[in-house]
């Protein structure tokens, strides 16, 4: 019998997924901070009562190994495991409820929103302070 799966270009087709975009940004981050800090991307299944729109939370955190692995969650991306978009992005680190600050319906909106978040003065300040405190140890 022949292979009936239409999965020949799966790596190319998957390359634009939100998680792979986050992984790419994590690599850029680690290179820029000379591996003093690193980015952690962690997927967590949401409890049913937390959201009717999303089933998965992906935390994008900055970790400082020299500060006893201090971890700061920059943002959380909410999605559904079986689809890339839409996604919700929360800048609120509250674990009791979901507070969506941005909704992205496609790759362009996701990249534009990430660009604003990662390039913001607030995030730059947080990274600079963590880098400074981590580098001095």
* Cβ–Cβ < 8 Å for 123, 131: no
Is-contact 28 66, C-beta < 8 A? no
pLDDT for the residue numbered 2: 85
Span 103-115, average pLDDT: 97
pLDDT in tens, 22-74: 999 999 999 999 989 999 999 999 887 666 789 999 999 999 999 999 999 99
Enumerate the β-bridge partners of residue 125: none
Domain ranges (residues) in the chain: 17-135
Q: What is the pLDDT of residue 1?
A: 84
Identify the CA nearest to 76 among candidates 37, 22, 14, 15.
22
Q: What is the pLDDT of residue 97?
A: 67
């Amino acid at each position: 019998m022949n292979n009936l799966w239409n999965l020949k270009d799966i790596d190319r087709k998957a390359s634009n997924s939100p998680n792979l975009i986050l992984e790419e940004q994590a690599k850029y981050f680690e290179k820029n901070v000379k591996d003093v800090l690193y980015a952690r991307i962690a997927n967590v299944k949401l409890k049913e009562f937390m959201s009717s729109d999303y089933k998965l939370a992906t935390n994008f955190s900055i970790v400082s190994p020299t500060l006893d692995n201090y971890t700061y969650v920059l943002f959380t991306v909410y999605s559904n495991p079986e689809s890339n978009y839409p996604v919700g992005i929360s800048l609120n680190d509250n674990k009791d409820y979901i507070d969506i600050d941005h909704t992205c319906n496609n790759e362009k909106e996701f990249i534009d929103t990430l660009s604003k978040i990662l390039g913001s003065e607030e995030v730059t300040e947080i990274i600079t302070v963590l880098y400074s405190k981590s580098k001095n140890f």
